[in-house]
Amino acid sequence: MKKILIIDDEPHILLMLKKMLERSGYEIELATNGVEGIELFKKIKPDLVITDIIMPEKEGLETIREMKRIKSDLRIIAMSGGGKVSADNYLKIAKIFGASKLIAKPFAVKEMVSAVEVLLKDDSGDKESFWNKSGQSGLEKENS
């Protein structure tokens, strides 16, 4: 079963995504900010991350950059409803930082499920060869 980590500071978004993706057959883990998300990411080694951009403690852009440094081929869906600037601006930056797919809030359930299915369909990479038994990625091991 494919593991998905969802990071968002809005509880109703987390629960809605969890329910709809579990119904589609995915194992879901939740985090409410980037700090929590990075910790879970290292622990559970997800196949896909869905993250909001604007969050307290550690926002999504920083979170994306850190995760991509750890696992460069990680698939990430960045989502944003905007803030002081439009969602498009945040999402364009997320793409530069390595997000695989950009979704503006509010989004249709079908749009999110479709994006997840497309990103996880081509999973030819061997996750276990990248992550060693201690949970470090190949990059972390090289930098040790």
Residue 81, domain extent: 3-143
How many CB atoms neighbour CB 44 within 10 A?
14
Please report, for the domain that includes residue 60, its CATH number: 3.40.50.2300
Is the predicted pLDDT of residue 47 greater than 50, yes or no?
Answer: yes
123: confidence class by pLDDT, cuts 50, 70, 90: low
118: confidence class by pLDDT, cuts 50, 70, 90: very high
- Measured between alpha carbons, how far is 48 from 51 in angstroms, rounded to an integer? 10
Residue 60: closest CA among 113, 103, 116, 123 = 103
| Cα angle for residues 111, 75, 96 (degrees, 5° grid) | 90
Is the predicted pLDDT of residue 121 greater than 50, yes or no?
Answer: yes
Output the pLDDT for position 109. Answer: 87
The mean pLDDT value for 51-73 works out to 94
Tokens of 95: 């793409």
User: pTM for the complete prediction?
Assistant: 0.82
Q: What is the dihedral of CA 65, 66, 67, 70, to 10 degrees?
A: 120
Number of domains in the chain: 1
Count of helices and strands (H, E) across the chain: 7, 5
